[in-house]
Each structure stands twice: as C-alpha cells, then as structure tokens.
Amino acid sequence: MLMRQPKPIQQGDTIYMVAPSFGVTIDPYMTRYEESIKRFKKAGYRVEEGPNVHLDEGIAASASPQARAKEINDAFASDASLILSVGGGEVMVEMLPYVDFAAIKKQEPKWFMGFSDNTNLTLPLVLLTDTMSIYGPCTPSFYQKKWRLSEEDSFKLLKGERVLQGYPKYSITKSNKDHPLWAYRLTQEKVITPVGYKAPIEGRLLGGCLDCILGLVGTPYGDIAGFRKRHPEGIIWFLEACDLNPLGIRRGLFQLKQAGWFEGAKGFLLGRHLCRDQEIFEVNKYNAVTDILGDLGLPILMDIDLGHIPPSMPIKVGAMAEVAYENGNIIFKYKE
C-alpha cells in the first residue's frame, strides 16, 4: 500500500501555525517566534495562526484537549501546505481522542512538522492515516537571519530533497534567556557509535521521542500492527529521549520490544539523549540499548544527529529510505 505524501511546498504557500502542546507565551520563545514569522514571510510564504498559538489556558498546554484538537482539525481542513507546531510540551497526547483522523485520511494530504511532544501527532498520522509527516523543528527554531543545518534541511525535505547527511559537530551550550536571539555554537565533535552495522539499512522510518511513544503503546493511536500489515517493507526505528534517564530508556525499549513494536524491524537509529553522561547502576546510554536490542541481531547506530541536543536532523516519518553510515557520518537517502 502506498503512503500518502503531501506535495512539495513552494513560495506563496500557506504555513498554518498550531499549538497542540505548549503555546508561545514567554521568552525566549516569543521573540524567536516573531522573528521566525518574519523569516517565513521574507522567504515568500503566507502565514496563518491558529487560535491557540499564544494561549496558556490548558493544564500544561495552550488550551483544553478539545480546543487543541479542533485547531488541528481545522488546520488539516484548510488550504495550507504546511501545518507547523509552535512548540513541544508535556500533554499533547490528551488531545488525540478528539482529532478527526478519519477526516484527515480523506483529505488532500498536508505536511505536519513538529518536535518532541509533537511525536504524538507525527507518528499517529503515519500509523492511522498513512500520511507522511516530518519530525523536525518547531516554529521558534527558524529565528536566525540565515537558516542553517536542521532548519535549512527541514525545508529541503519539504521541497522534495531526497538526500540529507548529518552535521560535523554539535552543541552542549545553553541559550541565554537575556538574549533570546542567541545562536547555539557547534563546539563538540560528533562520534557515531555503530553496533552490528555492515551495510546500508533500508526500510520505512518510524519513531520520534521515546518518552512520548511509550504513551501511545496499547492505545488506538499506536496501531503498529495494523501499519505493518499495510506496509510489510520493514521499519527503521529512530529514537531519542528527553526526560528519560538510562534506566528509563532501558525500560522503555523493553516495553516496546515486549509489546511487539520491533517485529519486522530492519535497524535502529538512536539520537543524542539529554541523559548522555548519566550512569545509574552501571547502566548508561549504550548498554541501555544493546542489552535490550542486541539479541535481535539488527544494526544499530547510536549518537546520530537527532534529539534535544542540537542540531537535530529532520526526518520524514513513514517514508522509505536507505540509511548509510559512511566516513563517520549518517546519510539518509529517501526513496519517495
């Protein structure tokens, strides 16, 4: 069965801003959001804002689950080409019962892009409607005068680019809230850790933030078995963690494995977790993965350019791709 891939975006198209998790209400996000809107308009795109974008009226969210879902439903029913989340957060999952996935599946496909908590839509869109999405930057990330790395690559994907590769370095410095337009600096040398990798991996890309994926297990919004029946090509899982420590990652992978989520997997891509330097009871970011996934005999690439430590590569969720590890770097070659 073919996946539904939205059309490439072009100048003059509308970008619809939504707040399915946090709204934009404080700095540095507010200032960065405003600058990002200027950049979109200067690049030739139209901008439309949903009603929840600047709200802080829900419980750890912009608005109630029902209001946030209505904003999403209205955005997919609009003539926008890209629906862009304005932020991550904590409880996006609570809006899913009110999202009209049946209607979305019947409509002309649109791109949805978001990061972190937005896994709660980037993944269910693929599993339930066979519509590709992009696990990539939220609106405030586009504030710099010249887009670079993950921001530039996001629009390359949206425009139809099929080959992207990782970045030479990464950043562990934190933004200064007194200077909201401060740009992160690439200071750390990247070292990808391959385990059992022998040749490029080919399959459909599924994944996102592990913290959020675990909340989908056993719900109607995590129908991985149904997806596998429609798309038996095999899955390349990409995963990164935000709040989980090494033990949490270990438990999470065990849960997904026991729940059957890794049946038919072709390989695993692990990002730079925020807990990168932690070790608890001799469990670290490496053996948390290999102890659980090692007996599957599948290739694993760890410490790729993915996660809450920037820069993070945008990934087209649901797309067939070949992922290669060459000369210490990762290369995504999309087949569609």
pLDDT, tens digit (0-9, with 9 covering 90-100), for 91-141 = 999 999 999 999 999 999 999 999 999 999 999 999 999 999 999 999 999
- DSSP letter for 79, please: S
pLDDT, tens digit (0-9, with 9 covering 90-100), for 221-270 = 999 999 999 999 999 999 999 999 999 999 999 999 999 999 999 999 99
Task: Please state, rounded to an integer, the average pLDDT across all residues of the chain.
Answer: 96
Measured CA to CA in angstroms, residue 153 lies from 132, 162, 210, 228, 295 at distances of 17, 10, 23, 28, 34
SS3 content of the chain, % helix, strand, coil (to 5): 30, 25, 45
Residue 179: predicted pLDDT: 79
pLDDT, tens digit (0-9, with 9 covering 90-100), for 199-208 = 999 999 999 9
What SS3 state is found at 122? helix
Instruction: Give the integer Cα–Cα distance in Å for 211 and 244.
Output: 7
Residues β-bridged to residue 261? none
Residues β-bridged to residue 58? 61
Residue 148 pLDDT grade (very low, low, confident, very high; cuts 50, 70, 90): confident
- Paired tokens of 153: 């690559």
Kindly report the pTM of this predicted structure. Answer: 0.96
Cβ-contact 197, 301 below 8 angstroms: yes
Cβ-contact 293, 301 below 8 angstroms: no
Cβ-contact 298, 196 below 8 angstroms: yes
